[in-house]
Structure 1
Amino acid sequence: MSNKCCGSNEIEQVIPKKNQSCGDSSNKEARAVPAKEKDCCCSSKEAASDKDSLATEKETESTTCCNSNVPNSISCCGNAEDEMHHHTDAAGEKVEYRIHGMDCPSCAKTVEKGLRGLKGVQEVKVNYNTEKLQVIGSNALSLDHVPNEVEKLGFQAEPLKQNNNIRTYDIVGMDCSSCAKSIENHLNDNPAVHHVSVSFSTGKMKVAHENSVEDIVSEVSKIGYKASLLSNNKNRSEAKKNKDGYGFITFTGMLIVLGFIGSFNGVPEVITTLLYAAAIVVSGYKPAKSAFYAIKSGSLDMNVLMSAAAIGAALIGEWFEGATVVWLFALGNVLQNRSIEQTRKSIRNLMDLAPPEAWVKVGPELIKRPVEEVSIGDVIVIKPGDRIPLDGEIIQGETSVNQAPITGESIPVDKQTGDTVYAGTINESGSLEVKVTKLVEDTTISKIIHLVEEAQEQKAPTEAFIDKFASIYTPVVFAIALMVIVFPPLFDFGTWSEWVYKGLALLVVACPCALVISTPVAIVSAIGNAAKNGVLIKGGTFLESAGSIDAVAFDKTGTLTEGKPKVSEVNPFTISEEALISIAFTLEDYSTHPIANTIVTYAKDQGIQPRSGEAFKSIVGKGVQATIDGKIHYAANLRLFEELNLASEDLRKEVETIQSQGKTVVIIGTDQEILGIISVSDTLRHTTVKALDGLKRVGVNQLVMLTGDNEGTAKMISKETNVNRYFAELLPENKVQAIQQLQREGHKVAMVGDGINDAPALATSDLGIAMGGAGTDTAMETADIVLMADNLEKLPHTVKLSRKALAIIKQNIWFSILIKLIALLLIFPGWLTLWMAVLSDTGAAVIVILNALRLLKVRG
């Protein structure tokens, strides 16, 4: 079979091994980074090269290839530095927390270093983007001190759900953080309580306990507070509304203003100094405390640098400078936290989509239950206008459903009995009875949230490089600052106070907050925007890749076309039309091929019955055969009948004419004569042409179609879609060759397919994009980017968003570097004051965050 290409040379006939080794040069080396102790590694989406291996992937352990979402996989893909081990020792325990109060990635490093020294702690990972802390310890006892240690470092650790015994309560009556500590201490004395964490700022308490909810409420009431249980769904959607420090910032700001005004109005210097000192103590207590534990853990974060600058300024008599430093630092932290919260809302808004309760039908009654208590097989009732609480199948009712939260589709989809509905979508009109098919933690919306959070935890190459740069930059500048303070005055190049001041300014400039935060905030914003629009981007690496794509290859069937072929013409030669369809029905009923299924469905719709057949046999690449009424009959392509010497010139011409119209021909006959022809055609998706034109508008000029269909069909579809090139008559391995040819031509290639049949091509491409993720778990697991809707309309938006993200990342990086360079240059002439140094750091960080937030507003 020739692999024909329109506008290109024929593809070489060298067919790669289907199960090539993971280290094969044909694989993408950038995405096949070996992790610790694994036999072999492959791309996260290269689950298998055929349907069978994909079907069994989740059920069996793989020793050669792996998938990032398959827990049983022995090997692991991705960067080992960026991922926690997916397994622990038999005696190991793993816990997760939400960390509140981090204002830049260096805070995450501080927490990691502080916890690694704890006895029994085996591994620690803190992700700044998602505020998650993961700790693996030798046993549960060794992890008990984690929240207290985090608090010592100046942050708050909120336990995430580890098991069904962890519950969240709302606490009323607390007026300071010591109240929260009182509640913790009281409940920790209760033997039925394994862990408790109370957050004063959120008014929430997380408790792992074995006794009843009523017991916990009673215990809290004993010490003067009121507790009430929150449902898990409601709790998950709670965003931290951090207003810590507003009062202190206002108060210390007034102290500084009073001291400044007093210094010009004859107020004794001791009074103004006391005002400034009070401002330093009030605003600087928390960062100083955090700095102490950071130094103890061997970390140089912004708290250390800022505290040193403030204390140093006070020691050399610059009280106003010291007070201004801590006030600006506190204000900058509040602004940063408020800004960064906007990016985190993109995921928390997804969590809000699915309602926390459902109306369950029990006999003739409707009972309202938390979604966690609803089981598979239960029947729930969804009223018009309500959100659907769980994934399920409609067993009664018709309606239209707004699926925009899941798929990004703007037009509601009509649903009837037998159709699937998803949690978080909106029932527009009719009342529905739905049989639950997935538990709350397994719903499509839950998987989206999980995948997006995982994606935000993966470091993009740019982010990893900047983190590495910052880890070198900060200690180097810190060392230079110490030398600036010590050496010049030792050699009589100026006074100690002069060089100490310059050294302190250099200390402030030493923290590259804006630079470190420049990339992750942009990536989190872009991934959140994409998820809101029905597109899953499974990591910063793939976001960056999408921005550099200049060629997109599409599988034809099911991607550019509906993938649901229909019988378009029946042409009997020597028998009646009904007899021809009956024979075709008999032959194709034992085949699983999509075209065979189309003919069978057509016969059933016509009310035609099959005949009695036996000795059914599939002829690979040609068709099927069976014995009917004592004669061997065939349903096959032209090639088989050419081998039987039954293909006349007239038959060839007729087949070519039909194929030129973009139709597939099935010839029915025996080993002695042709009985007739059945034509099957697939129709273009209504969004295909619009999507492809959209890709050209955003700068992707090389659009390629890959198909196993004949030349005529491929040529016709290519004209309708305006693709630049097509490759026809391809087997799955030939699709891999087509991708490789495009790569050899210098293109960065994205492959768009269904995530199942196209797995080898998806794995070979620079970026694998799967369609219809809402309907198949496989698509969500095997590709780098998933279009949740079963169409291409979001693809141009994805490319546009990715390119915008890359542009903003570059803007942020250059802006951050430029500000640092300007600050460094202004230090030595003595033009840069301490408060200006703080402003350049915190101000730049806020500007960088606000610039990245623009990605949340990008529209398709």
Structure 2
Amino acid sequence: MIEYRVKGLSCGNCAQALEHEIRQLEHGDTATLSYNSGKLNLDERVPLDKVKKILKNDRAYIENKNAHSHAGHNHAHGEHAHSHSHNHDHTHSHDHDDDNDHDHDHSQGNKKIIGTLIASTVIYVGAIFMDGQASDFSVIALYLIAAALSGYSTFLKGLKNLIRLKFNIDTLMTIALVGAVSIGEWKEATLVAILFGLNELLEGLGMEKARRSMETLLQVAPKEATLLVEGKETVVPITTLQVGDTVIVKPGEKIPSDGTVLSGKSSVNESAITGESLPVEKSKDEPVFGGSINNEGVIHIRIEKAYEDSSLAKILHLVEEAQETKTPTELFINKFAKYYTPLIMIAAALVIVVPPLFLGGDWTEWLYQGLAVLIVGCPCALILSSPIAIVAGITRNARNGILIKGGVFLEQLGKIDTLAFDKTGTLTKGEPYVEQSVVYDEIRFLAVAGAIEKSSSHPLAKAIMKEVARSGIEIKDAEDIEAVSGRGIVATYEGNKYWLGNEKSMEHLTIPQDIQATIEQLKQSGLTLVLAADENQILGMFGISDEIREESKSVIKALHKNGIRHTVMLTGDHQKTAEKVAKAVGVTEYYGNLLPEDKVTKVKELASKGTVGMIGDGINDAPALASAQIGIAMGKGTDSAIETADVVLMQDHLGKLPEAIKVARRVNRIIKFNIGVSMGLKLIALLLTIPGWLTLWVAILSDMGATIFVTLVSLTILIQRKS
């Protein structure tokens, strides 16, 4: 598939009609045209000249071919396969220039439309003043010129559609204009043409504003990098960088792709990835994200991922893709609009025929009323109720480092009433530490524990080694180290055999009653125990805890305030540990001793009672994330987090989650409000036919007013107060 950028799409309804026409072309059955993003995906075999001709009929045009084409995508969980053209590095700068040229063209096009509308209005006002002062022929000529200036393209499209029996807004407007002229309503016919032209312009500008905001977000990608080869610096396009390359990043420059600092020290602004404005200190061996900005020092970076596989490239690709998905609400509106226009046409016919035939009404008067009803048949404001709000919502969240993979997930995020949290690494830091030590043999306890855990990479071993290091004792090596699954480790140290692990690993001993009481007390406190013993006695024990994240309590509180009724913590840790964390952070329910499959069962159980979001780190929680109505991963850009979930928090904390849900709820509220306004104004216009008060200009204003209103209300989502 080849992807093109299309400009000049005047409305969502028109974009649907154009897509339908393009699909009728040879090899065009897979074509997609998105009004939200202005993107056209075409099979390369489709004749482009014919596509351009179809678009031209709607005053739309292909702006340029995007720098890469998509081989295919899977929206379900963000697994988007895409192939990049080999000459990407050459097209990049060319496309950038092309964008500038076409932005200029589009801007000129808008100025031309505005100029035409102003000229039409001036002539129209002139005709009104001349009415009664000059000959009828002169006044009619002025009305005709004003109407032709602002409505000729609509009229031509409408005639073509009428011949093909295709009834859209242009057809309805053409019938209304011809009808109005035929009964001598020159003044109103001209006003309708001018207002319709203004309506189309404003509609296009509203969506363009939302797209512009999205495009600004997508411009964070760096274009070039300084490659270092054998001491020589060369500026190259980032698309040519390979894994293992060394690049130099100077102060103020963007880091070209994900990598590791080889040398140098600096602070880095990662807001493009995480939405966090505070700089992060980076030094040797620390990871960096492509797209983040180096603040002060010069750093040498080893590239770990080609740009197309970097976190930033994936984010930008997914944010672009997010605009393409249709929400259930949008699908319903589009389906409704299909039947709405024919129904209005039937209603218009009844208004024209019934009163004169059965109620003795005047034919001219009711023909006029019927034509006004036809104009009410325009579903533009209704179709516009959703897309601008959705693009604005996705953009607003992406600015905050919250990646939502589609409008459907944004809508779902705004509906959730239950949030299930994994404990480790989500509500807690996932970094165990020794909270309490009980020592019975001061000489051997830390020495034995240190010797046995020295070479282990287990999180509990790391916590013990930190505690041992604090004591400052010399750590020797243990021998014959043997791990016993689910229990601990058996090893030899200085010729004697030692055990290190949980209670089960102490079965060779009879534990004295006072030590057993201490064990129970520590377990009641929610601590995980690691005991050390020789063949005869316990040397001591570590009470290990996982530190709760500072923001967890305030986040849970904010979520409850934002309308989340149930917050549930799921963990594999024992019930006492679960209870301790649950009380500290303030969740409404908690469940301990859960295996990954138990978490899935619990999430499904919760989903049967409401709309559930599951939050985890995207690695061991993948099954539970997938089984929730919406999966939310946090993980500062890890591949598994990006691929598994429907929503990704690009930070390594939950701080931005309440804001994401707040924005999603606001988007849903605004969409419902927009639908209510657009349908309400149409209903009022239709009810005005009963006393015979509906006029052509009131009919067009009911749609135009709704269009302007829903556009402006939707764009308010983009407004973000500085915190």
Does the TM-score normalized on the shorter chain lie above 0.5? yes
1:818 equivalenced with 2:686 (yes/no) = no
> In the alignment, which residue of structure 2 is the partner of 1:54?
none
* C-alpha deviation, 1:597, in angstroms: 4.7
1:135 to 30, 42, 66: 42
1:748 equivalenced with 2:653 (yes/no) = no
CA contact (8 A) 1:113 1:297 kept: no
> In the alignment, which residue of structure 1 is the partner of 2:689?
827
> In the alignment, which residue of structure 1 is the partner of 2:251?
384
* C-alpha deviation, 1:299, in angstroms: 4.2
* C-alpha deviation, 1:508, in angstroms: 0.8
> In the alignment, which residue of structure 1 is the partner of 2:213?
346
> In the alignment, which residue of structure 1 is the partner of 2:323?
456
Query: d(CA) in 1 for partners of 2:499 and 2:155?
Result: 84
Deviation digits for residues 615-640 of structure 1 (CA, Å, limit 9, x no counterpart): x3441x33344577887654322234
1:158 equivalenced with 2:66 (yes/no) = no
Query: d(CA) in 1 for partners of 2:336 and 2:578?
Result: 50
1:768 to 631, 641, 646: 631
CA contact (8 A) 2:159 2:174 kept: no
1:786 aligned partner, one-letter code: V
Query: d(CA) in 1 for partners of 2:22 and 2:354?
Result: 36
CA change 1:582–1:389 in 2 (3 A) is closer
SS at match of 1:676: strand
CA contact (8 A) 2:64 2:95 kept: no
Query: d(CA) in 2 for partners of 1:320 and 1:719?
Result: 72
Query: d(CA) in 2 for partners of 1:652 and 1:290?
Result: 88
Query: d(CA) in 2 for partners of 1:231 and 1:380?
Result: 24
2:598 to 720, 734, 737: 734
Query: d(CA) in 1 for partners of 2:515 and 2:604?
Result: 37
* C-alpha deviation, 1:603, in angstroms: 6.6
1:542-557 counterparts in 2 under 5 A? 542-557=409-424
* C-alpha deviation, 1:353, in angstroms: 1.7
CA change 1:256–1:438 in 2 (3 A) is farther
* C-alpha deviation, 1:351, in angstroms: 1.5
Query: d(CA) in 2 for partners of 1:518 and 1:851?
Result: 10
Query: d(CA) in 2 for partners of 1:493 and 1:104?
Result: 40
Query: d(CA) in 2 for partners of 1:408 and 1:162?
Result: 26
> In the alignment, which residue of structure 1 is the partner of 2:448?
580
CA change 1:706–1:491 in 2 (3 A) is closer
CA change 1:314–1:230 in 2 (3 A) is farther
Query: d(CA) in 2 for partners of 1:584 and 1:292?
Result: 87
SS at match of 2:244: coil
CA change 1:780–1:738 in 2 (3 A) is same
> In the alignment, which residue of structure 2 is the partner of 1:844?
706
CA change 1:664–1:509 in 2 (3 A) is same
1:468 equivalenced with 2:332 (yes/no) = no
1:431 equivalenced with 2:298 (yes/no) = yes
Query: d(CA) in 2 for partners of 1:499 and 1:604?
Result: 93
1:148 equivalenced with 2:53 (yes/no) = yes
1:706-721 counterparts in 2 under 5 A? 706-721=570-585
CA contact (8 A) 1:709 1:729 kept: yes
1:145 aligned partner, one-letter code: K
Deviation digits for residues 724-771 of structure 1 (CA, Å, limit 9, x no counterpart): 332222222222343345445x34332211112112222333332111
CA contact (8 A) 1:351 1:449 kept: yes
> In the alignment, which residue of structure 2 is the partner of 1:35?
none
1:248 to 106, 111, 116: 116
* C-alpha deviation, 1:373, in angstroms: 3.7
* C-alpha deviation, 1:604, in angstroms: 8.2
> In the alignment, which residue of structure 1 is the partner of 2:531?
667
* C-alpha deviation, 1:160, in angstroms: 3.1
2:550 to 677, 686, 706: 686
Deviation digits for residues 342-384 of structure 1 (CA, Å, limit 9, x no counterpart): 2212321111223333333344444333333444333333222
Q: Normalising by structure 2, report the TM-score.
A: 0.88
Deviation digits for residues 804-860 of structure 1 (CA, Å, limit 9, x no counterpart): 222212211111111010111113433222122111112211101111111112558
Query: Is there any run of 5+ residues in structure 1 with no aligned partner, and where?
Result: 1-93, 165-207, 214-227
CA change 1:566–1:351 in 2 (3 A) is same
CA change 1:294–1:532 in 2 (3 A) is farther
Query: d(CA) in 1 for partners of 2:562 and 2:639?
Result: 30
2:705 aligned partner, one-letter code: G
> In the alignment, which residue of structure 1 is the partner of 2:16?
109
> In the alignment, which residue of structure 1 is the partner of 2:79?
none
SS at match of 1:424: coil
Q: More deviation in 597-606 or 298-307?
A: 597-606
CA change 1:434–1:292 in 2 (3 A) is farther
* C-alpha deviation, 1:791, in angstroms: 0.5
Query: d(CA) in 2 for partners of 1:231 and 1:778?
Result: 34
* C-alpha deviation, 1:491, in angstroms: 6.4
CA contact (8 A) 1:646 1:674 kept: no
* C-alpha deviation, 1:163, in angstroms: 5.1
CA RMSD of superposed structures (Å): 3.2
CA contact (8 A) 2:449 2:532 kept: no
Query: d(CA) in 2 for partners of 1:428 and 1:539?
Result: 33
Query: d(CA) in 1 for partners of 2:149 and 2:25?
Result: 30
* C-alpha deviation, 1:395, in angstroms: 1.6
1:704 to 568, 584, 604: 568
Q: More deviation in 644-653 or 271-280?
A: 644-653
CA change 1:391–1:634 in 2 (3 A) is same
Query: d(CA) in 2 for partners of 1:376 and 1:436?
Result: 5
CA change 1:554–1:840 in 2 (3 A) is same
Query: Is there any run of 5+ residues in structure 2 with no aligned partner, and where?
Result: 70-84
1:77-116 counterparts in 2 under 5 A? 94-116=1-23
* C-alpha deviation, 1:397, in angstroms: 1.8
Query: d(CA) in 1 for partners of 2:599 and 2:511?
Result: 30
Q: Normalising by structure 1, report the TM-score.
A: 0.75
> In the alignment, which residue of structure 2 is the partner of 1:119?
26
1:636 equivalenced with 2:501 (yes/no) = yes
CA contact (8 A) 1:354 1:390 kept: no
SS at match of 1:699: coil
> In the alignment, which residue of structure 2 is the partner of 1:610?
477
> In the alignment, which residue of structure 2 is the partner of 1:263?
131
* C-alpha deviation, 1:662, in angstroms: 4.3
Query: d(CA) in 1 for partners of 2:46 and 2:31?
Result: 16
CA change 1:113–1:828 in 2 (3 A) is farther
CA change 1:235–1:449 in 2 (3 A) is farther
CA contact (8 A) 2:333 2:383 kept: yes
Query: d(CA) in 1 for partners of 2:365 and 2:235?
Result: 71
2:179 to 308, 312, 317: 312
- What is the identity percentage for the equivalent residue pairs of Structure 1 and Structure 2? 39
* C-alpha deviation, 1:532, in angstroms: 0.8
CA change 1:439–1:846 in 2 (3 A) is farther
1:330 to 186, 197, 201: 197
CA contact (8 A) 1:153 1:293 kept: no
Q: More deviation in 779-788 or 666-675?
A: 666-675
Query: d(CA) in 2 for partners of 1:233 and 1:658?
Result: 63
CA contact (8 A) 1:151 1:157 kept: no
1:481-496 counterparts in 2 under 5 A? 481-485=348-352, 489=356, 493-496=360-363
1:585 aligned partner, one-letter code: E
SS at match of 2:532: strand
CA contact (8 A) 2:214 2:391 kept: no
CA change 1:233–1:366 in 2 (3 A) is farther
* C-alpha deviation, 1:99, in angstroms: 2.4
CA change 1:635–1:321 in 2 (3 A) is same
Query: d(CA) in 2 for partners of 1:159 and 1:692?
Result: 47
SS at match of 2:323: helix
* C-alpha deviation, 1:117, in angstroms: 2.0
Query: d(CA) in 2 for partners of 1:599 and 1:767?
Result: 37
